[in-house]
Chain A
Amino acid sequence: MAIDFRDENENLRRIFLSERLDVAGTDAVSTKFAALAAGSARRVLVDLTAVTFLASMGIRALVTNAKAQHLRGGRMVLFVGANAGVAKTLETTGIDALIPMFTDVAEAEKAALA
């Protein structure tokens, strides 16, 4: 399964994305991703550590859901860990300047809950 989640506490939901977030991969998870991000928790940490390929379609899904979360008064942050490929794509496209990106999960959680 390329998407899963865990509620860390009543305020923070961690959404795990994995495998290829190309057109086909993003299409397969986009509806569930939006539903999970819009769930009861207003703070969302998106775990991208297991994503093997991040295309512009996947970035589009991240931006769309981060904006929606922002409009709901919540916050979304990205956790990439040691996933240098995904981090590079996010940095190259400037998305890390719009959605906070972290390599350390504790820092990501702290930022999400700030």
Chain B
Amino acid sequence: MTATPVAEWAAELSIRADFAETRRASRWLRVTGEARGVPEECITRLDHCMEEALANVIAHGGPGARAADIAIGLEVRCDAGLSAAVLNISDAGIAFDPTRAPAPARPGSLAEARPGGLGIQVMRSYADRIGYTRVAERNRLAIMVTW
């Protein structure tokens, strides 16, 4: 997985920065992805990434994140035999680049384990590429899966 710049994109769904909204976003992703020919397995991978990204914004984005909607869009590209879906997410929370966040240390035992801190790890494992840009006081995240 590598970080890539985030291109301009059009928001297609706006949700409140509230945990009650994340399933609506998930349903929208599934319907939209299917309509645009994204394979089921790739939609699921994007769903995992989106769940973690939204949870991170809502839990850690601060008052700014909760005061403004989160914008979401999905692009599908086909080029030279390679297809890609890019899930774009924009939020007004505290600046945070998940591509630069250090991976959490793996505990050696259950006794050493501290619950939490796995969201970015899940995103990295399911995405082929993650891009991040901070524009106009908003975080812009682009999560790509290919097939």
**Is there contact, CB below 8 Å, between A22 and B26?**
yes
Q: Does B119 contact A (CB under 8 A)?
A: yes
Nearest B-chain residue to A93, judged by Cβ: B118
A77 to B22, CA, bound (A): 29
On chain A, the residues within 8 Å of B78 by CB distance are none
**Is there contact, CB below 8 Å, between B121 and A22?**
no
Interface residues of A in 39-72 (CB under 8 A from B): 53, 55-57, 59-60, 63-64, 66-67, 70
Q: Does B77 contact A (CB under 8 A)?
A: no
On chain A, the residues within 8 Å of B66 by CB distance are none
A53 to B40, CA, bound (A): 13
Main secondary structure of the interface of B (DSSP, over half): helix
User: Which one, B22, B110, B122, contacts A99 given CB within 8 A?
Assistant: B110
**Is there contact, CB below 8 Å, between A23 and B51?**
yes
On chain A, the residues within 8 Å of B122 by CB distance are 55-56, 89, 92-93
Least Cβ–Cβ distance between A95 and chain B, in angstroms: 8
Cβ proximity bits B107-136 to A, threshold 8 Å, 1 near / 0 not: 101110101101101100100000000000
Contact (A22, B111) CB under 8 Å given A56-B118, A89-B122: no
A45 to B125, CA, bound (A): 27
**Is there contact, CB below 8 Å, between B111 and A23?**
no
User: Which one, A56, A63, A93, A98, contacts B55 given CB within 8 A?
Assistant: A56
**Is there contact, CB below 8 Å, between B113 and A24?**
no
A59 to B104, CA, bound (A): 15
Contact (A70, B111) CB under 8 Å given A22-B22, A56-B55: yes
* Residue tally, chain A, CB below 8 Å to B: 24
Contact (A64, B115) CB under 8 Å given A55-B52, A70-B110, A92-B125: yes
**Is there contact, CB below 8 Å, between B19 and A60?**
no
Nearest A-chain residue to B120, judged by Cβ: A56
Q: Does B60 contact A (CB under 8 A)?
A: no
On chain B, the residues within 8 Å of A67 by CB distance are 110-111, 113, 115
* Chain B residues in the interface with A (C-beta under 8 A): 19-20, 22-23, 26, 44, 47-48, 51-52, 55, 106-107, 109-111, 113, 115-116, 118-119, 121-122, 125
